[in-house]
Structure 1
């Protein structure tokens, strides 16, 4: 495995572990309410700005993945789209870069 692939794999793991160590306990304490999580994300202008920043990044990544998968016919890369929305850009981006490597 090349050094770049190793780095991307490590970033994938970090992209899951770091957000989930905050999300999962919070969700457990709040009855697994996604509505409550959305409300928590918008408690201030700073957090709302971060949510919009990540939303635009996720949409941009989705468009890029879809475009490349269609043009390159590399369908396995599409796995990064649900990973992006189920965990975050912190997983979706390094996962897609890992999957598109030769």
Structure 2
């Protein structure tokens, strides 16, 4: 495996582990209330700005993935879309780059 593909995999692992080590304990302590988590993301202007930044990045990544999947028939790359929305851009982007570089 090429070194760049190993780097994409390492970034995928970081993209899952780092956010989930905060999200899972918070959700457990708050009865898995997704609505409360969304409210917590908007506790101040700085965090709201970050939410919008990541939302725009996620939508942009989704458009890129769909565009390339249709153009190149690389349907496997589409699995990066649910990864993006279930975990975050921190997983979706390196996963897509890993799949794209095969």
TM range (shorter): over 0.9
Residue 62 (structure 1) shift: 0.2
Unmatched runs of 5 consecutive residues or more in structure 1? none
Q: Distance in 2 between matches of 1:50 and 1:81?
A: 20
Q: After TM superposition, what 4+ stretches of structure 1 lie above 6 angstroms from structure 2?
A: none
Aligned length: 102
Q: Distance in 2 between matches of 1:83 and 1:15?
A: 10
RMSD, aligned α-carbons: 0.4
Unmatched runs of 5 consecutive residues or more in structure 2? none
Q: Distance in 1 between matches of 2:70 and 2:14?
A: 28
Calculate the TM-score normalised by the size of structure 2.
0.99
Question: Per-residue CA shift, 1:37-72, capped at 9, x if unaligned?
Answer: 000000000000000000000000000000000100
Calculate the TM-score normalised by the size of structure 1.
0.99
Aligned to 1:53: 53
